[in-house]
Amino acid sequence: MIRPTHVPSSAAASRWARRTTHVALLACLALSAGPSAALARPAPTPGGATPAPGTPAPTPRTATPVEHFIFLMQENHTFDNYFGTRPGVDGLPKDACMPVKRGVPKPCVAPFHIGKLGAIDLDHSADAFRTQYNGGRMDGFVEGVSKQGKDGRMAMAYYDERDLPYYWNVADEYVLFDRFFSSSNSGSIRNHMYRVTGGPGATGKAETIPAQGWGDIPTIFDRLEEAGISWKFYVQNYDPTITFRSRVEEENIDRGAQVIWVPLLAYARYVDDPRLSSKIVDLDEYYTDAARGDLPAVSFIAPAGNSEHPPGNIGSGQNLVRALLTQLMRSPDWSSSAFLWSYDDWGGWYDHVTPPQIDRYGYGFRVPALLVSPYARRGYVDSTTLDFTSALKFIEVNWGVKPLASRDAKAQTFLGAFDFAAPPRPGVLLSAERVSVALHRPDPRPVYASYAVAVGLVAALVVTAALRGRRRSR
Amino acid sequence: MNLPGAPTAVLPGQRRGHRDDPARRRLPPPGSWLRALRRRRWTVAAALAAIAGLALLVRSWRIDFFGFNSDEVVYAGQAASLAGNPGYTDLFPVFRAHPMLFQALLSPLFRAGEAGMSGRWAVAVIGVLTVLAVYPLGARLYNRRVGLLAALLLAVMPYHVIVTRQILLDGPMVLLSTLTFYCMVRYVQEQREVWYLATAGMLGLTMLAKETSVVLAGSLYAFLALTPAVRRPVRATLLALPALVVVFAAHPVSQALAGRSDSGRNYLVWQLFRRPNHPMSFYLENVPTAIGVLLLVAAAGGLWWARRHSSWRETLLLSWIAVPVVFFQLWPVKGFQYLLPVAVPVVLLGARALVLLPVPARLRWPGRGAPARPVPARAGRLIRLAAVALVASTLAASSWDAVSHQGRTTFLAGSGGVPGGREVGRWLTEHTPEGSVILTLGPSMSNIVRFYSQRQSYGLSVSPNPLHRNPSYVPLNNPDGWLRNNNLHYVVWDAFSARRSPFFADRLMTLVRRYHGRVVHTEYVGTPGASGRVTPVPVVVVYEVRP
């Protein structure tokens, strides 16, 4: 037989060899701690030497073994809405019961499993937040929805492992954050801007995309460009014709949300500059890039129909995340990757944790967030206070780029969710079923015993026959 | 003791000193024959050792060159699962179609790690034991020379060699059926009921190796029915049947005690109603060449030219051949190895024929007008020796060819390992994440992939209709949906299944194209072309797929 051809294996070995260096760098980072300016230093070159002028710029080094960071933003759920019933997390309080009217304890609505009720698109505007937050009393979740003419009780519905088996399996195996807040106490536009700029984008009362776009507000991708660090923004069902120029109001054209979920499409320079616009690509490229081991250093992903935005099917959202993770785990880049996904705002659903108000815009309510990486701690619940700018902070720390705004400069990041001292874990394609079908293994003892008796019986017969024959022949 | 109606004269080549040999009473003085007997024993022992060595050589030569085939992985997987090997307990159920005697015997070898070649070595040793067991049988039926020659022929017979290089139930079953045969011969020769009981018990044990050997009960019945001279004591028969049932009861009893009493019934229903898997000409096309055409000719010729000397021995041998052949020919499900029990009576008949080969006493030399001259006894021996050498060498050459080939792009179930299967399985283990689920073309490759990769796998061609599938197989009612929902991560195409089911091969490739299939691994076999140049031909291809 002729020996087979093999697909080139990953560069994991060489990466692994650099792990020790990474740990040392991390220790340095920990020592230089907090101040973002210190963290923003470019990562040192090996041996501390400065590259000689004229020599090609070396590939930017990372402070951790994570060389590929992927950040997916799904839509509109709170932590309690997805993981509130999960043991071991800061989940739904046992005695939770939300007044139908603020300040009036009875009647109230207790959290309930959504069951076969269809999810509705609850109100999730800045107004709704104010009502539900109610000055920190957190008693307006039902009223915040019902005053929009919708069934306010639905705000208290939750999903659990029956509905989200894959996410719960991921949480068993990797990291679940239970103090991850949406950055803004309003809707999608500001939260997505926090995700890429560290700031709200639209200031003041209005939460809209300006007609002329976001102008020159710096994004994390500008930072990456300056530092020569590769990046891509993968967009599901990407339509390059939908930009801030073709969309003024979300309702104006079909799929106008693409401009909100991909804020770069509301920047003239990202739309007009072919070099930059070529990095905003269809999600299909994610699969081919991952398969080839060509994932950029930083990848942002925006969904389309599989965003889990109510009343959308959360199962299809799970399928999308599962497909993305499956491809990542099969990729040669897996051993140096981290995949974070979260939800852009609370979507109107109940969450019991009062969000700290660190400035005028936020935080918003907690949102689900999970981290998958070969270095992620197994089954770990990270309770660090985080928001979307924590992802920016991670990029800034890892690749040594400057912060964008005060939020990301001050943000905590999720380095504690990793265990870089341990070798990278091989990927595990988790089931989309919560309970794996365990086969009942029959008791082997009766099997051995029965056959031993049968063999013994026949042996006894043959020996008896042979011995009797001998005796007679004598 | 002489049997009523038994031959009163010793057949040429019949064992001397036999209980039914009238010449036994004319023994030479003890001093001389005792020395001769001892000398002969050493000679026989040396010859048997050489035959056993040869048998082991051909059964073990490059025994691990190819990985297991589908049947082998099922039996090895059962054994590993029974032993509690954590790599297999979730993937291979303990109870499937057959009793578990052999799997229970194998299981201590498979307690941890990959269930590997130790199983094949165990079967090879069982094959050698069968070869050795043929000697006393031949010696008892005829004489030592026939016994030795039969052992030699079985040692190099391609049919037996091929099957006893694989973890199949047929190898152990044939060893036990040979012992059953031996017990029956002892009963006929000694007429002691305890041998009758032992025959029944041994047949029960044979059925515990593989239940299809129940057909040999038909052989015994046919023999007894055709040989009125053999006593059929009613009492012994009344005891023999329960003995057989008690021994075989180990199978259902063990299943019931282990909590799986319905598995066997499911398989029985499926076997009774499944569609034919081969044409009626299957055995005719495959088995005679595997047994050896010259050997068959010799066996048939021997029966013809010694027909006047035929006795209960030939009746027993022919019954042992005819009943399984007729039964499996009529049975819709056919398998290459199913007729293996006939190998033993065929070598005995062939050896008898070669030892009895008639050489004319006088020959008229061509071109001479002189009267016919007597052929020297030495020349007769040389002719017989040449015939033996011819038959044995052709068998050995066929066996050697079978065990030395580099792999083919076609595969007949039961005829050996599957090229590329093991390698693909191991590749999947090393290069795919744990939890990957694999779609193969058919259930056979699915078994192999599951065994070697320890990943869950499904066969596309497994029928959703429970009447048309093996009860162990899980069908995918909607493979398209499984792929769309990211429940299948790799697709494995193989040339062997594709040749058998082109429809499903097309369907598989449609799914591969639809779900962005990307070739990630290929296994090849070298196929010599017309110019003699070896061309690598892909036999197994692994595609990575995604929604």
Mutate to test the interface with A, among B486, B515, B521, B544 (most CBs of A within 10 A): B486
Q: What backbone phi and psi angles, to 5 degrees, belong to B173? A: -60, -40
Q: What is the mean pLDDT of residues B317-325?
A: 96
Distance of residue B39 Cα from the nearest chain A Cα, in angstroms: 22
A196 or A469, which is more confident? A196
> Does the structure show a pLDDT above 90 at B206?
yes
CB distance A365 to A355 below 8 Å: yes
- CB nearest to A428's CB, from B95, B433, B524: B433
SS3 B187: helix
Residue B421 is encoded by which pair of tokens? Answer: 């299967």
Taking one residue from A and the other from B, the number of pairs with CB-CB distance under 8 angstroms is 170
SS3 A45: coil
**A454 with B243: Cβ contact below 8 A:** no
Lowest pLDDT segment from A103-107, A160-164, A195-199, A226-230: A103-107
**B486 with A291: Cβ contact below 8 A:** no
**B198 with A465: Cβ contact below 8 A:** yes
Distance of residue B166 Cα from the nearest chain A Cα, in angstroms: 19
> Which residue in A has a C-alpha nearest to residue B257's C-alpha?
A446
Cα distances (Å, whole numbers) of residue B487 to A241, A444, B473: 34, 32, 18
Distance of CA A205 to the CA centre of its chain: 30
Over residues A185-194, the pLDDT tens digits come to 988 899 999 9
Lowest pLDDT segment from B36-50, B127-141, B399-413, B529-543: B399-413
Q: What backbone phi and psi angles, to 5 degrees, belong to A398? A: -70, -40
**Residues with Cβ < 8 Å from B82, sequence gap 6 or more?**
A444, A447, B94, B100, B103, B104, B107
Locate the domains of chain A by residue range: 61-417
Which chain B residues are Cβ-neighbours of A453 within 8 angstroms?
250
Q: What is the mean pLDDT of residues B117-141?
A: 95
Q: What backbone phi and psi angles, to 5 degrees, belong to A264? A: -60, -25
How confident is the model at residue B377, as a pLDDT?
75
Residue A473 is encoded by which pair of tokens? Answer: 């022949």
> Does the structure show a pLDDT above 50 at A31?
no
Share of chain B above pLDDT 70, in %: 88
Most confident of B233-237, B383-387, B414-418: B383-387
> Does the structure show a pLDDT above 90 at B465?
no
**B247 with A319: Cβ contact below 8 A:** no
How confident is the model at residue B3, as a pLDDT?
37
CB distance B349 to B302 below 8 Å: yes
Which chain A residues are Cβ-neighbours of B450 within 8 angstroms?
none
Cα separation, B292 vs A378, whole angstroms: 62
Q: What is the mean pLDDT of chain B?
A: 86
Beta strand pairing call for A231-235 and A280-282? parallel
CB distance B462 to B476 below 8 Å: yes
Q: What backbone phi and psi angles, to 5 degrees, belong to B296? A: -65, -40
CB distance B322 to B345 below 8 Å: no
Q: What is the torsional sign of CA B50, B51, B52, B53?
A: positive
How confident is the model at residue A117, as a pLDDT?
87
Which chain A residues are Cβ-neighbours of B433 within 8 angstroms?
326, 329-330, 334, 426-429
Residue B496 is encoded by which pair of tokens? Answer: 């062997």
> Does the structure show a pLDDT above 60 at B305?
yes
Give the model's confidence band at B102: pLDDT under 50 very low, under 70 low, under 90 confident, else very high: very high
Cα separation, B539 vs B438, whole angstroms: 17
Share of chain A above pLDDT 90, in %: 67
Beta strand pairing call for A298-302 and A68-74? parallel
**A432 with B100: Cβ contact below 8 A:** no
Distance of residue B312 Cα from the nearest chain A Cα, in angstroms: 21
Which chain A residues are Cβ-neighbours of B523 within 8 angstroms?
1, 4
- Exposed / middle / buried, residue B46 (Cβ in 10 Å: 0-12, 13-18, 19+): exposed
Give the model's confidence band at A10: pLDDT under 50 very low, under 70 low, under 90 confident, else very high: very low
Distance of residue A350 Cα from the nearest chain B Cα, in angstroms: 30
How confident is the model at residue A60, as a pLDDT?
59
Which chain A residues are Cβ-neighbours of B83 within 8 angstroms?
444
**B194 with A323: Cβ contact below 8 A:** no
Over residues A404-449, the pLDDT tens digits come to 999 999 999 999 999 999 999 999 999 888 875 555 677 888 899 9
> Does the structure show a pLDDT above 80 at B341?
yes
Which chain B residues are Cβ-neighbours of A304 within 8 angstroms?
none
Distance of residue A340 Cα from the nearest chain B Cα, in angstroms: 19
- CB nearest to B202's CB, from A323, A428, A458: A458
Which chain A residues are Cβ-neighbours of B247 within 8 angstroms?
454, 457-458
Residue A263's CB is within 10 A of a number of other CB atoms, namely: 27
**A326 with B198: Cβ contact below 8 A:** no
> Which residue in B has a C-alpha nearest to residue A426's C-alpha?
B433
Q: Partners of A5 in the beta sheet?
A: B522
- CB nearest to A442's CB, from B253, B260, B427: B260
> Which residue in A has a C-alpha nearest to residue B189's C-alpha?
A469
Q: What is the mean pLDDT of residues B145-174?
A: 95
DSSP line for A409-470: HH----GGGB-TTSPPPPPB---SSSS--PPPPPPHHHHHHHHHHHHHHHHHHHHHHHHHHH
Lowest pLDDT segment from B187-191, B369-373, B417-421: B369-373
Give the model's confidence band at A167: pLDDT under 50 very low, under 70 low, under 90 confident, else very high: very high
Looking up tokens 């530092």 gives A227
Q: What is the mean pLDDT of residues B424-442?
A: 94
Distance of residue B303 Cα from the nearest chain A Cα, in angstroms: 31
**B485 with A439: Cβ contact below 8 A:** no
- CB nearest to A1's CB, from B94, B104, B406: B406
Distance of CA A452 to the CA centre of its chain: 56
> Which residue in A has a C-alpha nearest to residue B108's C-alpha?
A448
CB distance B522 to A5 below 8 Å: yes
DSSP line for B131-170: HHHHHHHHHHHT-HHHHHHHHHHHHH-HHHHHHTTSS-SH
In terms of Cα–Cα distance, which of A397, A296, A414, A377 is closest to A25? A397
Over residues B348-390, the pLDDT tens digits come to 999 999 998 877 777 776 665 667 777 777 887 888 899 999 9
How confident is the model at residue B37, as a pLDDT?
66
Over residues A345-380, the pLDDT tens digits come to 999 999 999 999 999 898 999 999 999 999 999 999
How confident is the model at residue B1, as a pLDDT?
36
Cα separation, A304 vs A316, whole angstroms: 11
How confident is the model at residue A1, as a pLDDT?
47
DSSP line for A303-360: -STTS--TTS-HHHHHHHHHHHHHHHHHSTTGGGEEEEEEESS-TT----SPPP--BT
DSSP line for A212-250: T-STT---HHHHHHHHT--EEEEETT--TT-STTT-SST
User: What ipTM describes this predicted complex?
Assistant: 0.85
**Residues with Cβ < 8 Å from B386, sequence gap 6 or more?**
none
**A457 with B247: Cβ contact below 8 A:** yes
Lowest pLDDT segment from A260-269, B95-104, B175-184, B241-250: B95-104
Cα distances (Å, whole numbers) of residue A61 to A42, A69, A399: 8, 14, 7
Q: What is the mean pLDDT of chain A?
A: 85
Give the model's confidence band at B470: pLDDT under 50 very low, under 70 low, under 90 confident, else very high: confident
**A439 with B520: Cβ contact below 8 A:** no
SS3 breakdown of chain B: % helix, strand, coil, rounded to 5? 60, 10, 30
SS3 B247: helix
Which chain A residues are Cβ-neighbours of B536 within 8 angstroms?
2
Distance of CA B442 to the CA centre of its chain: 24
How confident is the model at residue B183, as a pLDDT?
95
> Which residue in B has a C-alpha nearest to residue A470's C-alpha?
B190
- The region, left, alpha or beta by phi > 0 then psi within -120 to 50, assigned to residue B175 is alpha
> Which residue in B has a C-alpha nearest to residue A334's C-alpha?
B433
**A429 with B435: Cβ contact below 8 A:** yes
Opening angle at CA B29, ends B27 and B34, nearest 5: 90
Domain A61-417 is of which CATH architecture?
A: 3-Layer(aba) Sandwich (3.40)
**A428 with B435: Cβ contact below 8 A:** yes
Distance of residue A104 Cα from the nearest chain B Cα, in angstroms: 46
Distance of residue A471 Cα from the nearest chain B Cα, in angstroms: 13
CB distance A183 to A407 below 8 Å: yes
Which chain B residues are Cβ-neighbours of A446 within 8 angstroms?
253-254, 257-258
Distance of residue A462 Cα from the nearest chain B Cα, in angstroms: 5
Q: What is the mean pLDDT of residues B330-346?
A: 93
Q: What backbone phi and psi angles, to 5 degrees, belong to A104? A: -115, 105
> Which residue in A has a C-alpha nearest to residue B405's C-alpha?
A1
Q: Please report which helix (H) or strand (E) contains residue B330, including its range.
A: helix B312-330
Kindly calculate the radius of gyration of chain A based on its CA atoms and give it in whole angstroms.
28
- CB nearest to A450's CB, from B186, B254, B486: B254
> Which residue in B has a C-alpha nearest to residue A466's C-alpha?
B195
In terms of Cα–Cα distance, which of A174, A153, A225, A169 is closest to A196? A225
Cα separation, A301 vs B294, whole angstroms: 72
CB distance A292 to A333 below 8 Å: no
In terms of Cα–Cα distance, which of A327, A73, A368 is closest to A193? A73
- The region, left, alpha or beta by phi > 0 then psi within -120 to 50, assigned to residue B110 is alpha
Cα separation, A199 vs A217, whole angstroms: 9
**A453 with B547: Cβ contact below 8 A:** no
Give the model's confidence band at B14: pLDDT under 50 very low, under 70 low, under 90 confident, else very high: very low
Q: What is the mean pLDDT of residues B167-174?
A: 95
Distance of CA B412 to the CA centre of its chain: 14
**A451 with B485: Cβ contact below 8 A:** no
Q: What backbone phi and psi angles, to 5 degrees, belong to B460? A: -65, -35
> Which residue in B has a C-alpha nearest to residue A317's C-alpha?
B485
Distance of residue B129 Cα from the nearest chain A Cα, in angstroms: 16
B347 or B469, which is more confident? B347
Mutate to test the interface with B, among A373, A461, A470, A474 (most CBs of B within 10 A): A461
In terms of Cα–Cα distance, which of B299, B1, B358 is closest to B154? B299
Which chain A residues are Cβ-neighbours of B257 within 8 angstroms?
443, 446-447, 450
In terms of Cα–Cα distance, which of A371, A410, A307 is closest to A69? A371
Over residues B474-509, the pLDDT tens digits come to 888 899 999 999 999 999 999 989 998 999 999 999
